[in-house]
Amino acid sequence: MCGIIGYIDFDKNSNADVLKRMTDSLHHRGPDDSGILDEEFNNCKVGFGHRRLSILDLSSHGHQPMTFMNLSIVYNGEVYNFKEIREQLVKEHYVFNSDSDTEVLLKGWHCWGEDLIQKLNGMFALAVLDRTNQTVTLLRDRAGVKPLYWYRKNNLILFSSELKGLHRHNAFSKEISKEGINLYFQYGYIPQPYTIFENVYKLESGHCLKIDLVNQTIQKNCYWNVFDYYRKEKIKITESEAIVKCESLLSSACEYRMIADVPVGVFLSGGYDSSIVAALLQRNNSKKLKTFTIGFKEKSYNEAGYAKDISNYLGTEHTEYYCTSDDALNILPLLPDICDEPFADPSIIPTILVSRLAKKDVTVSLSADGGDELFAGYDKYTGIKKKIDIFNIIPNMAYPGIRKILETKLAHKAFEYAGYTDVNNRLFRLAQMIGQDEVRILKSASIIFSDLELNHLLGGADEIYTGFDDHLNSNWLDNLLAIDYKTYQVDDILFKVDRATMSCSLEGREPLLDHRLIEFVARLEPELKIKNGDRKYILKKIAHKYIPQSLLDRPKQGFGIPLSEWLGGQLKNYVSYYLNHKRIAESGILNPVFVDSLCRDYYSGNLNKVSFKKIWVLLMFEMWREKWM
């Protein structure tokens, strides 16, 4: 795992000093080594920078940027099947000077060009300079495990593993994007390809970007799309055959991700996803697997006991740590720097803590992210199906009347009486869902600030096309899983894990995002994922082969934290400072009167008007703004 950075400057104003400054901003991603490449061409200057976290071939032979013949590469990630690709290249008479996967990538690109991409199994973000064809190609892995940002304004192109690297170039222009800020307040994260800045984009998962150094053109191509596999004809296979094949792919994915020249561990929550990963690895490992868990003193959020039970059963070497509000208070001021764009998933706090815990013993840790999106683990999937079924029995002509009823005071009182918080927003979202398909319902259910609230907060709300607007025209469950894969998974879950692990120079690996597994499971009938209301059906069948069902079956908790309690306690001073009327007014971005009303309602206990999520989203934005604007 590493950090990469670079520029293509058609005005030739950039230099090695700027490049080194940009590269050093990513020191946390690769503290073991650094390198730069700075070259001048007829029409431009090209600079590549690299920070290295040594995982494979710890010697200097893995140093980057790496050059072979007419090619140079900087690369962040791991190619797990590099040994097989290397064998193919040896047959093509290539000679290797190292045991690194970087050299395999470089010589594979020399041999096959962009066709190499289809051979890769791994997580990666990379840049390749081709001096013969006068091009620079940027590439991001299929799932988007590794981040890559790019910027273009006038005659300057920049790229970086994190936004902070762009700030170190003196020509970088930081203007808040209208689309980016709207999306952030809608979802609490910014879906690809948007970012918080104008002229800065996330290179989407499964995409490559080719920059022509002669004519200054940019061409973007999608080389892999999960939608293609959900659209394909379903595999004709029995349940038992599906279980055997899925188990085989899972086992292979886990084994691939144990390849390293440094110690490897596993994040263990005690849920199905992480437990099956730990079980498969411990089964094939003579040494005790190292597992790590974060717990909470607040019982409703604590899964540490479940994880310990799983660890005891599997016989892993287990370490746990209990997170407190003091821990949150210590991490909170670090979040703007760690995330470097507004990000409001509070579970990044325990993710940082478990990463720090693991880093004491290992350099690589496997996590089980992607299981809910692949095997249909979220409650929301069955909840959306129930809504669709209800809407289907209501005559279309009744929809307008129902929406009007939801706007009445009686409906408001009924929701309050039922104990719901943030009632105004709940009713608004429910009214939007009436008569809609599963895709629009998912989008409405994901929104934190409604269009009406965004009008108050930002002075307007734009309809912005994102992955939430894609549609398979397929089974309702396939639609939901594919959209979550391209939105919430990549820009919330994977962003969170990358920033948390990299903040302490720990490499995170995701076996459930192996593309072979995804391509297979996407083509299974939905009934193998949710059967008679039982979510993750096929994954559970596999897990029960290794772990007793009694240890695994319990209500799903997710990786949440007691944020509401913390905001009312030790974090309240942060809210008072950052959401202060004068500060908000001086920035000219948010409506201070509306922010005042939200804070007043929240801290007066009027939770039917505002949820703690809104306060947290506002707080994260203002802390980010102070750091980066």
Domains delineated in the chain? 2-224 (3.60.20.10), 228-376+482-552 (3.40.50.620), 379-451+461-474 (no CATH), 563-628 (no CATH)
Least confident of 138-152, 187-201, 314-328, 582-596: 314-328
H helices present in 155-218, as ranges: 163-167, 178-187
Q: Token digits for 411?
A: 């409906």
Q: Token digits for 44?
A: 């431009």
Among 486, 459, 443, 596, smallest CA distance to 178 is for 459
DSSP 490: I
Q: CA 141, CA 490: separation in Å to the nearest integer?
A: 11
Q: CA 220, CA 203: separation in Å to the nearest integer?
A: 9
Q: Which helix (H) or strand (E) holds 218?
A: strand 218-222
pLDDT at 523 over 80: yes
- Strands ordered across the beta sheet of 156-160: 33-40, 45-52, 2-9, 156-160, 149-153, 200-202
pLDDT at 284 over 90: no
Q: Is residue 578 within 8 Å of residue 623, measured between CB atoms?
A: yes
What are the angstrom distances between the C-alpha of 487 and each of 168, 178, 193, 290, 306?
29, 19, 10, 31, 29
Q: CA 538, CA 244: separation in Å to the nearest integer?
A: 10
Least confident of 38-52, 436-450, 457-471, 542-556: 457-471
What are the angstrom distances between the C-alpha of 424 and each of 391, 420, 462, 611?
21, 10, 20, 10
Which residue type is seen at 629? M
Least confident of 4-18, 200-214, 447-461, 522-536: 447-461
Among 496, 260, 495, smallest CA distance to 363 is for 260
What are the angstrom distances between the C-alpha of 366 and each of 15, 309, 509?
38, 19, 5
518 carries a ligand binding annotation: no
| pTM of the entire predicted model | 0.93
Q: Which helix (H) or strand (E) holds 210?
A: strand 207-212
High-pLDDT (> 90) share of the chain, %: 73
294 carries a ligand binding annotation: yes
Q: Which residues are catalytic?
A: 2
Q: CA 137, CA 118: separation in Å to the nearest integer?
A: 15
Query: What are the tens digits of pLDDT across the range 401-429?
Result: 666 666 665 555 555 545 555 666 666 66
What are the angstrom distances between the C-alpha of 237 and each of 233, 514, 531?
12, 21, 16
What are the backbone dihedrals phi and psi of residue 579, each rounded to the nearest 5 degrees, phi first?
Answer: -105, 25
Please spell the DSSP secondary structure of 107-166, one letter per residue.
HHHHHHGGGGGGG--EEEEEEEEETTTTEEEEEE-SS--S--EEEEETTEEEEESSHHHH
Query: What are the tens digits of pLDDT across the range 352-364?
Result: 999 999 999 999 9
Q: CB 234: neighbour CB atoms within 10 A? A: 15
